[in-house]
Each structure stands twice: as C-alpha cells, then as structure tokens.
C-alpha cells in the first residue's frame, strides 16, 4: 500500500533542509556585502564549482552502488542524481539568460 504524502510534513522538511543549506555554505555576496561590492565572476565560479561537486558526488554514489557497496542505498543514488540534474539544468538556464542579456546589450545603439 502506498502512503500518502503529508504536505505539512513535506514543507517542514524542506524548510529544515533550506536552513541547513544556508548555514553550511555562505554566499560570496554576503561576504562582500560589507564593502558594498559583489564580484560576479566569483559568484558564477562558486556556483559552477558547486554544481560540479554535486555531479561528482552523484557519480561516486552511482559507482559505489553499482559495485555493490552495502552502505549505499538506491534512494540515495537517485536523490543525488536528481539533485545534480536539477543543479545542472538551473546552471544552463542561467547561462542562457546571460547570453540573451549580452546579446541584447550588444544590439543597443549608442
């Protein structure tokens, strides 16, 4: 029998994970806030590095599961794979928007 998902419990878990994620990795923009300046290049580099790290972790989990590691569950592998997929897709969308913005600026007449 399939158990129904409790929306309140799901929302509570999502908020707890969001709080945990915010505590573990401070944003570079917050570090430079005191000087009033945000380095866009560093921000993008950190985002791409985080996506790369997520993909490598998912790959390592997948390999460990395929090799029969008893400490790795299929659910952990699938969750890590989906996280890396979502992070990669978000990065692609940001890249596409940046390219569109650049092309729009280049089309502007002076």
pLDDT in tens, 58-96: 999 999 999 999 999 999 999 999 999 999 999 999 989
pLDDT in tens, 17-61: 777 766 765 555 555 555 667 787 888 888 899 999 999 999 999
Q: Which residue has the tokens 């952990």?
A: 76
**pTM of this prediction?**
0.60
Domain ranges of the chain: 39-110
Question: How far is CA 39 from each of CA 42, 49, 94, rounded to the nearest angstrom?
Answer: 5, 16, 16
**Tokens linked to 75:** 């659910």
First to last CA, the chain: 66
């Amino acid at each position: 029998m399939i158990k129904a998902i409790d929306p309140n419990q799901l929302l509570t878990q999502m908020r707890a994970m969001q709080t945990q994620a915010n505590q573990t990795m401070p944003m570079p923009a917050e570090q430079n806030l005191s000087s009033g300046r945000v380095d866009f290049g560093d921000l993008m580099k950190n985002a791409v590095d985080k996506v790369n790290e997520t993909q490598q972790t998912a790959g390592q989990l997948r390999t460990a599961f395929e090799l029969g590691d008893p400490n790795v569950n299929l659910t952990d592998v699938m969750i890590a794979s989906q996280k890396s997929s979502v992070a990669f897709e978000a990065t692609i969308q940001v890249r596409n928007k940046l390219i569109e913005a650049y092309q729009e600026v280049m089309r502007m007449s002076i």
